[in-house]
Chains A and B, each alone.
Chain A
Amino acid sequence: MTDPQPAIRLTGLTKEFGAVTAVDHVDLEIAAGEFFSMLGPSGSGKTTVLRLIAGFEQPTGGTIELFGDDVTKRAPFDRDVNTVFQDYALFPHMSVLENVAYGLRVRGIGRRERIERARRALASVRLEQMGDRKPSQLSGGQRQRVALARATVVQPKVLLLDEPLGALDLKLREQMQVELKEIQRELGITFIFVTHDQEEALTLSDRVAVFNNGRIEQLGTPAELYERPGSRFVADFVGTSNLFDDAVSRELLGRGGVHSVRPEKMAVGSGETGADVRNAPGTVVETIYLGSGIRLVVDLDAGVRVSVLEQNDRNRVHDDERGDRVVVSWHDDDVVALGGADAASAPAA
């Protein structure tokens, strides 16, 4: 973020589809070399922003700058950005090598050089043996890597990734997350990553923009978003939150407004006391065994259902069951204020 010229600068970016405003006056700066994620539920406008940056859609208003150049009106083939598509969009009639070499071919680079460079790109994603195959003969993870090689072989300034791991199973997805991060570090280019998976966004990114209703709800590092969510929406969407509305907050915390406490910041029957410890009695509704942890769902007497995450470590002594009476405790500084009752509940309704 020391670079004075951001890789991407969006100013008042707006896109309307008929009566629907998909992107609503978005202002955003993404630094060169950053791994940036756009996170949000489907229909929140994150993919549209990506397609606007790529040039597949024309904005209704606002501008897009790429390293200081206004590219708003330029065609996709005139922009130094490349896309890894959600469905990979590999050309089915071309071999894997031809797919990777495509961007070099349409740029008029000679046959020998483009094959050489495409081979190197394939090697960088560990698919050098697969060059002669057709995309249909590859597995999902391999296709994903071909798409990555195809987009990076033309050395874009910014790489756009549209939910690229969405179609992969969990194990492969975790493996590809690590690989993506490595590739980004090697290439040193800006990655803009669109996902609806908050865990993925937190794992991979330097910074995350949380989208909701075509706007950026909150922008920050993964830790900032998780520890200090700025709104009820972010607290709910990024990770799991126990939300206390105005009435519950008054009873449990002694002050009004909406508050949130993360499940792992709560404990059951810890026996802790102190000025900043809050205790609330309740009844266990459900215990869910997670392997590394145990999730307890507790109905507090104050009239709110909370989720408590306990580590399954050697210190764990309680074996609470459904119907048991327990005391849930947490520290005051783990409580995040999400603003006044009216301000917070209005957008959610």
Chain B
Amino acid sequence: MTMNATAPASARGAASDPPEPDRADTAPGGAPRRGIPRPKATPARRASVFLTAHPRVRLGFLLAAPLFWLGLVYVVALAALLVTAFWSVNSFTGEITTEWTLDNIITVLTGSLYQTVTFRTIGVALLVTIIDVALALPIAFYMAKVASPRARRLLVIAVLMPLWASYLVKAYAWRSVLSQDGILEWVLAPFGLHTPGYGLPATVITLSYLWLPYVILPIFAGLERVPDSLLEASADLGGKTWPTIRHVVLPMALPAIIAGTIFSFSLSLGDYITVNIVGGASQMLGNLVYTNVGAANNLPLAAAIALIPIAIIFGYLALVRRTGALDNL
């Protein structure tokens, strides 16, 4: 170490000495060079030097907090949920017995109530996803490819704005809009139409509204990454609007669209508040979980029901993976 430390110093001295007279006539003095002080060895500087030399320690500092969060709070909570699903409740005392049983799983898989609600929930989630993608694609395309930079910024803010308001407030706002004497009825009445009232259609409408920003933003980001020159190249080669969309825009935006659908689909699967507020008497999986945790005091059954959306999402991701849409993520 000492050898190495001294050798460059002497080499530097030897190298800088001879040209000194030569430099003197072009830049006399050379004082500005000497005027820059060496950085002081403060504790922060010493820590930086240590971290620079020890990449593993550096990585540890970077990832400690998020790994702690992911490991303990996220994975452990999820594992606890899984485990609970295999326990049962003593119907007499209401206490949880920690004996392993498949009863809850069998109940959930075979009970006609659970089957009906599962299919209803999947239907709602699919419908919400389709509506959101249909609405988000043109808006996202306009934002990414047509609008001026200024209009784009305004639109991004406009899309994000609903997220500033509470979920509950928005759900109740739709309850008022959809009510029998609400705005929707007032608007539709002259055309001989009526508000759908509370029920599954109202749930679909409200959920579509709630999750729309989560679908627009990834698709917008995805389309923004598609270079304009690709659209120009398509037109240049003879591609009119529809072939360009079908062969160039959609395939390139597919990973982003999938990302958006994962949001709207999974958020819809797990929702229970909206369906409570505007869903009338209809129930979704989230409601069943809620009643079993609360009124029925059957946490193991609730956990078993909660496994259904998790399983569905895993199925959906596997399906998406097979299309190859995740390869480009």
A interface with B by C-beta (< 8 Å): 54-56, 75-77, 81-83, 85-87, 89-93, 102-103, 105-107, 150-151, 154
Contacts and interface: CB of A to CB of B under 8 A. Distances in A.
Contact of B239 (A55, A56, A89, A102): A102
A54 B237 contact: no
A54 B239 CA distance: 14
Contacts, number: 68
A91 B246 CA distance: 13
A238 to B, nearest CB: 29
A154 B238 CA distance: 9
Nearest to B242: A106
B251 A103 contact: no
Contacts of A77: 235-240
B247 interface: yes
B interface residue count range (under 10 / 10 to 19 / 20 to 34 / 35 or more):
10 to 19
A106 B238 contact: yes
A105 B230 CA distance: 16
B274 to A, nearest CB: 37
B243 interface: yes
B247 A105 contact: yes
B248 A91 contact: yes
B252 interface: yes
Contacts of A85: 229, 232-233
Contact of A106 (B227, B229, B237): B237
A206 to B, nearest CB: 24
25 contacts: A54-B232, A54-B236, A55-B236, A56-B232, A75-B235, A76-B235, A76-B236, A77-B235, A82-B237, A85-B232, A86-B229, A87-B227, A87-B229, A89-B233, A91-B247, A92-B252, A102-B234, A103-B237, A103-B238, A106-B238, A106-B240, A106-B247, A107-B238, A150-B237, A151-B237
Contact of A89 (B227, B238, B243, B251): B227
7 nearest interchain CB pairs?
Answer: A103-B237, A89-B229, A89-B233, A76-B235, A106-B239, A106-B243, A93-B251
B328 to A, nearest CB: 8
Contacts of B248: 91
A228 B238 CA distance: 42
Contacts of B229: 85-87, 89
A236 B115 CA distance: 81
